[in-house]
Structure 1
Amino acid sequence: MNASGYSGYRWGYWRSATLAAATAWLARYADSAATLAAYRREVERLILWAVLQLGKPLSSLTHEDLLAYERFLSDPQPAARWVLAGNKKLARNHPDWRPFAGPLSPGSVRQALVILNALFAWMTEAGYLAGNPLALARRRRAPTQARITRYLSHELWETVKETVAGMPTETVRERLHAARCRWVLSVLYLGGLRASELTATTMGAFFCRRDAQGIERWWLEVTGKGSKTRLVPATDELIAELARYRRAHELAPTPQFGETRPLVLPVIGSGEKALSRGALHLILKEVFGMAAARLRARGPEWEAQAAVLASASAHWLRHTAGSHMTDQQVDLRFVRDNFGHSSLSTTSGYLHSEEDARHEATQERHRIGWGTEK
């Protein structure tokens, strides 16, 4: 098939009613040359495939046809008909012009389907089609929110706390290092902060305000992803840990407004240089490593649990905090806002208790009952 053959099919079929509608849809993007070119390319590819492979006009394509087209995009065959030979870009009227330079990547396939879905949705709404043949495929591919798996169970979290509580404090350096480890765990767990948020926040980000009933409440102002600022509740427990940590450094128990000291202080010296994310990583890996060794000392049957602890990182603490909050029936909306999630679907990944209950019910009531082996 040469270029004139492609052109004949292309422009012949543009004269049909549905393809005139496709032309009208494309005209909506005439103010952006790049968008128009990308959208036109995907529409023309589909038209050529429908005509040359199936002998169908655009209006007759079914859901199954579009599933086949999705597979075709990943491997346009026969290649001699569809794929350009060589790397040189050719004009459309060249006899060796082809619609594809090669198989599309998974991301490019998804983008092509997004564009075509928008076309079919518009044509359906405008009355040119009875329904969108891609709608079912789009719904079927809607991703489900994955459950969070990299978090510490309540039992493992207790082991971590016991490990920190048992750290040596004989020298000044050991005492300050133990205080820092305890404070890092406290603020990451109670505040649900990301590692980057912890290292970028100062002591002056804590502030107290009085509500309408005269109750004073502490808050921590944090700047997270996308430079979005949120207020994290600083619970009485967190404020007590803050005071404990500051006293270890011979500071007043509560920070001053606008105080520029970093949230995590250096063990030696009074500098105001913030802890790096690399240094934070090393501190936590030390803690988790010691906790893992604590479990291994109990016996070989604890090796699997110890391996989980040894793999943990700062972000595991954020997931641990979210998981434990949902276990305690904290409203998902509050967890979402505390953690700076954009939607509840992200926060719902912490709902492990629902899946545990489902597992228990299935195990209890759904059995095959082979009986005892003979």
Structure 2
Amino acid sequence: MDIVLAPLATDITCAPSTAVGQGGALIEARSDREAITRWLIEYRHSPATFRHYRKEAERFVLWLEFRGLSLDALRRHHLDEFEQFLTNPLPSSHWTGPTRPRHHPRWRPFRSGLAPASRRQSLVILQGLCGWLKEAGWVTHNPFALMRDRRRRLDNAAPPVIERYFEREWWCAMWKLLDPPVEDAPQRSRFLIARRRFLFGFAYLMAPRIAEISRARMNDFRLEEGQWWWHVVGKGNKVARLPVPDDMMTLLREWRAELGLSDMPPPHDDSPVLRALDRRRGVTDNQLYRVFKDGFSMLSDALIARNWSQDHPLIEQLRRATPHWLRHTSLTHQAQSGIELRYLAMNARHARLETTARYLHAENDEWQRQQARHRLSRIE
């Protein structure tokens, strides 16, 4: 059966809705798609959150349309079917494919089935969607409220320990391969090597999100009373000021030298930090994502060329890694270096300490040491 995969529109102008649910709807919408878009528009001032929620909402509404279901017809058993679909979207030819622009004729909402943590996150987001639609009077019920194991699946108060990061020894092996360009390298190659090195170092030292890197300007790095600070607008448009370590300032100097700029950014330099090949224009989130993925691929190939086994865990991780792994790696290594939880939370820009605590692996280490005392009796 062929399906038409049409992404959600985000610029609709709706006529007043027909009353749906007790008391009528409190939003202007003529269809489930428009109702979901009304929910999405609530996040328009937070671009990263908007894009992430739009992705989950698109998958959900496309699945509903494929099943011939309306939002108000959604029942408890449908949630189990949807979660199974997230695990393995079938038929795969209709649902999965390489990353393409959203309005490309061969755009697909999945690259592959979702891992357990990603499925859980999807359900959390859609729980919020259905709750909002119920409050808006668009649907009469929220089936997520009927899930018996709702607390285990949807409670975000105790997120799992972070696992998608590179161990310190492996990160050191990676960094050694991100060598600075040689003086006589061709100009294009020199630029690409320098940009990749700076990008990976930036991601590791400052733990930024990818959108924060693409939006970074040179004068976001500011000297204040003899100390360098990075001013960043993060998730939810929250403004933060982070201390810049010496290694980061060294990388910035090297990168500015590659761009033909002065040693340190002056206050009036509002140009983008990361640059396209013309050395002037900035880069988009999608372009940065590809630079990171190409970097991971290069590192994997370089390690194999140095006789690392293709089955080595680091090689396998590099094949799966996304840019966010470097944020996880940075925060994990900061925690392992002894940075206190309150400062770690400020570096991560988390709203709750419980979120930051996922990066603290000391308790696991102590648990292992304690459990090691439990041994089989020695046979004399």
TM-score, normalised with respect to structure 2: 0.58
1:109 corresponds to which residue? 146
1:308 to 312, 317, 334: 317
1:287 to 287, 290, 295: 295
Distance apart, 1:240 and its partner CA: 1.5
1:202 to 192, 211, 217: 217
| d(CA) in 2 for partners of 1:270, 1:74 | 54
| d(CA) in 2 for partners of 1:34, 1:322 | 47
| d(CA) in 1 for partners of 2:214, 2:258 | 20
1:315 alignment partner AA: H
1:342 to 326, 334, 351: 351
| d(CA) in 1 for partners of 2:156, 2:350 | 20
3-state SS, counterpart of residue 242 of structure 2: strand
2:263 to 235, 253, 262: 253
2:167 alignment partner AA: S
Contact 1:295 1:305 in 2 (8 A): no
Q: Deviations over 1:203-222 (max 9, x none)?
A: 11111111xxxxx1110110
| d(CA) in 2 for partners of 1:250, 1:166 | 16
RMSD, matched Cα: 3.3
Q: What aligned pairs does 1:346-361 form with structure 2 within 5 A after superposition?
A: 346-361=355-370
Taking structure 1 as reference, are residues 225 and 161 closer, same or farther at Cα in structure 2, changes over 3 Å only?
Answer: same
Taking structure 1 as reference, are residues 160 and 299 closer, same or farther at Cα in structure 2, changes over 3 Å only?
Answer: closer
Structure 1 stretches of 5 or more lacking a match?
1-31, 36-72, 76-100, 115-136, 211-215
Structure 2 stretches of 5 or more lacking a match?
1-21, 26-74, 78-138
Distance apart, 1:168 and its partner CA: 6.4
Contact 1:207 1:219 in 2 (8 A): yes
1:320 to 322, 326, 329: 329
1:277 alignment partner AA: D
| d(CA) in 2 for partners of 1:341, 1:318 | 13
| d(CA) in 2 for partners of 1:195, 1:142 | 23
1:144 corresponds to which residue? 158
Q: What aligned pairs does 1:1-374 form with structure 2 within 5 A after superposition?
A: 105=143, 107-109=144-146, 144-165=158-179, 170-210=185-225, 216-267=226-277, 269-271=278-280, 273-297=281-305, 298-300=307-309, 302-362=311-371, 364-368=372-376
Contact 1:163 1:287 in 2 (8 A): no
Identity of aligned residues (%): 25
3-state SS, counterpart of residue 231 of structure 1: strand
Q: Deviations over 1:272-319 (max 9, x none)?
A: x32111111121112211222233342437533201122112111100
| d(CA) in 2 for partners of 1:345, 1:223 | 22
**Larger Rg: 1 or 2?**
1
3-state SS, counterpart of residue 366 of structure 2: helix
Distance apart, 1:367 and its partner CA: 2.9
| d(CA) in 1 for partners of 2:173, 2:271 | 31
Contact 2:180 2:197 in 1 (8 A): no
2:93 corresponds to which residue? none
| d(CA) in 2 for partners of 1:231, 1:34 | 46
TM-score, normalised with respect to structure 1: 0.59
